[in-house]
Amino acid sequence: MASVSLSNVVKKFGTAQVIHGVSLDIEPGEFVILVGPSGCGKSTLLRMIAGLEEISGGEIEIAGTVVNEIEPKARDIAMVFQNYALYPHMTVAQNMGYSLKIAKIKPPERDVQVRAAAKILSLTELLDRYPRQLSGGQRQRVAMGRAIVRNPKVFLFDEPLSNLDAKLRVAMRGEIKTLHQKLQTTIVYVTHDQIEAMTMADKIVVMNQGRVEQIGSPLELFDRPANLFVASFIGSPAMNLFDGVFEVDAAGARLRLSDGQTWAADGIEGVVNGQDVIIGVRPEDFQVAPEGDGAISVEIVVVEPTGSETQVTVKYDEENLMLVFRDRVELSPGASLSIRSDAAKLHVFDKATGARISR
């Protein structure tokens, strides 16, 4: 395993700059996920680490060595792609051992390494099959096995689960996480799926338009998003957002909503009386409450029971909000509901800059 360090990395395609001075330190053995919407630059950044894209500025280090001018094959990394890229005329064993064959590893040693990787990935019974005889999940495991046999310093994954159905994606998330725990190898993983990022990563890098918005553990990003973009991107269903005004006087601090309702806001720092803010509330942080005392009245639009929870879409001030109840609730579309949130669970952002206001 090895460290990976990016220092002020820039990428331009002609006059268009797509990566804007990204800096990132990845510790040996760490599982780091680059996440963000399509087109944010995460795959481009991964390809630069791999050496498949030249960088336009900055430095990339692997295991303490600057690799800007080093060919991909000499970087001691292995990459797993979205489309598997298996050779259809080769068996599973031949696919997994192909890189070793190119490296002129002798067949007996090659067979030992292939079988060791196959055992880790539960592929031993499939070594004589061809890709056309495998399921999507099995093909993805073969692609991972082809990377494992090389015993690289760093694994790079580029949206490896996006071609799989929802049930198989869940299973493969667990398999990749288990694989990392077994091998303890550094992994840099790209996805647009924030659920993948939250469930698998040691550290998440949230990207937007070629820039890093926030770096932190999954729970750090969920509990203390640095800005409105991260707050809206991390969490499913997404955070509810309200326009508001911060007010403070002798009676204390409060957040005033557009309908005149107020929520307590003690402990918020770096904000002035009359400042326009955006108030964020996670769907699961609302509770049914009596009218008054900070409660707001909403109209139920859609009720979606999933078994383990109930998701409810409601209308407030002409905007739709999402609520999540862990307990079974009896609610009907068209009915009114009074809800409130604990003041300690409110997220407050500056409306002008989108930056988080601390408490």
Which helix (H) or strand (E) segment holds residue 181: the answer is helix 166-183
The domain segmentation of the chain, as residue ranges, is 4-233, 240-350
Which pLDDT tens digit goes with each residue over 216-268? 999 999 999 999 999 999 999 999 999 999 998 887 888 999 888 888 887 78
CA gap 161, 9 in Å, rounded: 27
CA-wise closest residue to 315 among 296, 330, 287, 341 = 296
CA gap 82, 179 in Å, rounded: 18
The CATH code of the domain at 4-233 is: 3.40.50.300
CA-wise closest residue to 158 among 67, 77, 76, 59 = 77
Helices marked H in 18-159: 42-50, 92-102, 107-120, 136-148
Positions of the chain with pLDDT under 50: none
- How many other β-carbons are positioned within 10 Å of the β-carbon of residue 133? 12
**Would you state the pLDDT for residue 81?**
85
Which pLDDT tens digit goes with each residue over 170-217? 888 988 999 899 888 999 999 999 999 999 999 999 999 999 999 999
**Would you state the pLDDT for residue 118?**
93
Rounded to a whole number of angstroms, the distance between the first and last alpha carbons of the chain is: 39
**Would you state the pLDDT for residue 230?**
97
Task: Note the CATH architecture for domain 240-350.
Answer: Beta Barrel (2.40)
**Would you state the pLDDT for residue 359?**
67
Q: How far is CA 314 from CA 108, 175, 299, in A?
A: 65, 38, 5
